[in-house]
A and B are shown apart, each in its own frame.
Chain A
Amino acid sequence: MRSWVLAAGLMLIAAAGRAETVLGATYLKLREPPRPVLSNLDPIPEDEGIAGARLALADNMTTGSFLGQSYTLDVVDLQPGADALTAARDALATAPFLILDADAATVMAVADLPEARDALIFSVAAQDRILRDEGCRANVFLTAVSYAMRADALMQALLVKRWTRLALISGPTPADRAFAEALKASATKFGLEIVAEKDWSERADLRRTASAEVPLFTQDLPDHDVLLIADEADDFARYLAYNTWLPRPVAGSEGMTPVGWAPVLEQWGAAQLQSRFEDQSARQMRPRDYAAWAAMRTLGEAMTRTNSADPATLRAFILSDEFELAGFKGRPLSYRRWNGQLRQPVPVVHPRALVAEAPVTGFLHQRNELDTLGLDEGESACTLFGDAK
């Protein structure tokens, strides 16, 4: 009770000075179980995702300082297997805005909490189809690019080069499988041919023997233009490049990769976002950082334009024609009104440069060329956003 009085007193002081609108958000991270990988070269940063939301918080605060608006961001960082639902309940009890860095099952469970009914949740990690399809939730926006969007971006880039005969090697994890499925569906969608598929099965330590093992493993693949690799766990793919039987480029999870964000982006003002991020976090910006940045900036943009911190008001604005987010990818970003997915270009990159930015020129769509990437309205079983159509 005492804290209530205190809070009310603070509000009065704020109101007396300047009627300030405050938006409080929570970043809830449920860490994934550690995964064994062959190489230790590229550890995942501890603050992956969180750092992106923090940068957007700073961006929002600067804008807010001119408008009498401010933002807060609490971070709840959970170890694998922790009780995310209780943590989400606690967070939603203080603020109705949740940035959720968790797997698809957790996203759906959190969205279904009674406490989340009037909340706005941004899913910044899960790329799964289910969240864009029959498992969508009306209170969940998706800022991470989906497996389908990434696969479509890659296929567009390959098709314009007429590299249309593809072989596919898939790893064993659920993420590997999901990305492989998306690649196959996208190849069918755009008329490319997957001439052979193989499951990754080598158990050798490829750090020492890749040059001996990989040629044998790839020797029986029929001729192809490009070798696709689905290795979302970042385990073996790095050892396939330059070790294949046939001299072929690799793409997918390695080599030429479709991503939500990459350090090699510099056009469209991206260089400024990269340098602000590196100044803040002393590392390069990753796709999850970008998705979290976009989520927090979406809230900022919506509050800037509506001068409201009410979730229903913001949701309506975010789904309206008025909403557009400048996302440093050369086109305005907006949300799909059939499943809450953030519409965005998907760069196809190699480690040193941008190869192509999808939608690739020539891929047309009756509504918006960005909708050539990922689940289109007719393909998605999601109907929960129907009120906004």
Chain B
Amino acid sequence: MKYLALTALLFAAPAGAAEIWVTNEKDDTISVIDVATLEVTRTIPTGERPRGITFSKDYSKVYICASDSDAVQVMDAATGKILHDLPSGEDPEQFVLHPDDKHLWIANEDDAVTTVVDVESRTVVAQINVGIEPEGMAVSPDGKTVITTSETTNMAHWIDTATNKIYANTLVDSRPRHAEFTKQGAELWVSSEIGGTVTVFDTATQAEKGKVRFEITGVNDDLIQPVGFEFTPDGKTAFVALGPSNHVAVVNAETLEVDKYILVGRRVWHMAFSPDHTQLFTTNGVSGDVTVIDVASLEPVKTIKVGRFPWGAAMRP
């Protein structure tokens, strides 16, 4: 194990001090992991129950969904100081920053609403009624479409960012949690936690193209619950967190077949890559740690203790 950790160190990003920021929803903190040393270098206090986390395009600011504070907090990424709160609507859980770097699209879980906030003027631009318990948020690379998935309504809502109107609603399996565009925006992937699947849509027609299904020997199907996922930069591989099955699936994004299951910590939620994409950091809610996966060998190389119930993850180069 020591040898593996050492290997990981050798492969680590050379320049600067790249970091992975992890939100700990039951500690009200962020744990900052140094990618070079794989150690937690500092712990930053946040609002209550931090979940979604994302950086501004220049990485100078970090946005944090402090769900139980009913606020999106804006933090100076260098100092860790809270600069101000954004008007977010109630119970913001997840969000996505539009490619214009100016509009934050926020899922308000308790209100069945998606809120659009202008981060410069700090005003609410629009609120769009969506299904019950919105959570997953995605924006197409061209910025024209934003997706909100609603957990109890079991839909992906397709929102036109020019009009802030829903132009399509597509059913997915039970309890959708996360959405991502891939293949330059040609496909939308949506994970369904209780359904145990990931649905792939053709963006142009909103038609279902296929489904990823999972099966792990020795693990009850009920416990295989896909939540967060990320694609490699070439779009060929998806890493899908499978919740209480304690595994991350490695999915071939062309065939939609699973190549491998990687054992990680308990109730894996979300993940972030190192800047060079050689390492993947997964948040493990129940075990309170982060698993570092070596992307080349698809092996877990280290477990890093963080705060209580780590949830979101974001990379800062």
Chain A interfacial positions (CB closer than 8 Å to B)? 59, 62-63, 66-67, 269, 272, 275-276, 279, 301, 304-305, 324-326, 330-332, 368-370
Contact = CB atoms under 8 A, between A and B. Distances in A.
A369 B171 contact: no
Interface stretch (B137-145, B146-154, B201-209, B271-279): B146-154
B65 to A, nearest CB: 14
B132 interface: yes
Contacts of A59: 132, 152-153
Contacts of B151: 269, 272, 326
Interface size class of B (residues with CB under 8 A): 20 to 34
A269 B133 contact: yes
A120 B166 CA distance: 34
B195 A324 contact: yes
B109 interface: yes
B110 A324 contact: no
B310 to A, nearest CB: 15
A208 to B, nearest CB: 42
Contacts of B193: 326
Contact of A66 (B155, B173, B175): B155
Q: Which 4 residue pairs are nearest across A and B when measured between Cβ atoms? A: A326-B194, A326-B174, A66-B169, A326-B175
Nearest to A370: B222
22 contacts: A59-B152, A59-B153, A63-B131, A63-B154, A66-B153, A66-B155, A66-B169, A276-B110, A276-B132, A304-B154, A304-B171, A305-B171, A324-B173, A324-B174, A326-B154, A326-B193, A331-B194, A332-B194, A332-B196, A368-B220, A369-B220, A369-B222
B157 A66 contact: yes
Interface string B157-183: 100000000100101011100000000
B132 A62 contact: yes
B174 A332 contact: yes
Contact of A67 (B152, B169, B194): B169
Give the most central of B109, B152, B154, B169: most A CB within 10 Å.
Answer: B152
Contacts of B154: 63, 301, 304, 326
B110 A326 contact: no
B174 A62 contact: no
B182 to A, nearest CB: 25
A370 B153 CA distance: 24
Nearest to B133: A272
B112 interface: yes
Contact of A330 (B133, B196, B244): B244
A329 to B, nearest CB: 10
Interface in B222-258: 222-223, 244
Contacts of B195: 324, 332
A276 B91 CA distance: 12
Contacts of A269: 133, 151, 175
A272 B244 CA distance: 19
A63 B175 contact: no
A304 B152 CA distance: 12
B309 to A, nearest CB: 10
B222 A331 contact: yes
Nearest to B221: A368
Given A66-B157, A269-B175, A326 B152 contact: yes
Contacts of B110: 272, 275-276, 279
Contacts of A67: 169
A66 B222 CA distance: 28
B28 to A, nearest CB: 16
Contacts of A279: 110
A276 B173 CA distance: 22
Contact of A272 (B109, B153, B157, B169): B109
B25 to A, nearest CB: 11
A305 B155 CA distance: 11
A63 B222 contact: no
Nearest to A368: B222
A330 B196 CA distance: 12
Contacts of A330: 244
A263 B195 CA distance: 25
Contacts of B244: 330
Contacts of A331: 194, 222-223
B6 to A, nearest CB: 35
Give the most central of A59, A326, A330: most B CB within 10 Å.
Answer: A326
A301 B244 CA distance: 24
B174 A63 contact: no
A66 B157 CA distance: 9
Nearest to A331: B222
Give the most central of A279, A305, A325, A332: most B CB within 10 Å.
Answer: A332
Contacts of B222: 331-332, 368-370
A12 B30 CA distance: 58
B221 to A, nearest CB: 8
Nearest to A56: B152
Given A272-B110, A324-B194, 19 more contacts: A62-B112, A62-B153, A63-B131, A63-B155, A66-B155, A66-B157, A66-B166, A67-B169, A269-B133, A269-B151, A269-B175, A272-B151, A275-B110, A276-B132, A301-B154, A304-B154, A324-B195, A325-B174, A331-B223
Nearest to B195: A324
Contacts of B132: 59, 62-63, 276
A66 B174 contact: no
Nearest to A272: B133
A118 B274 CA distance: 59
A62 B169 CA distance: 12
A243 to B, nearest CB: 35
A203 B195 CA distance: 52
Contacts of A305: 171
Nearest to B220: A369
A332 B244 CA distance: 13
A279 B90 CA distance: 13
A66 B220 CA distance: 33
Contacts of B175: 269, 326
A368 B151 CA distance: 24
Contacts of A276: 110, 132
A111 to B, nearest CB: 29
Contacts of A369: 220, 222
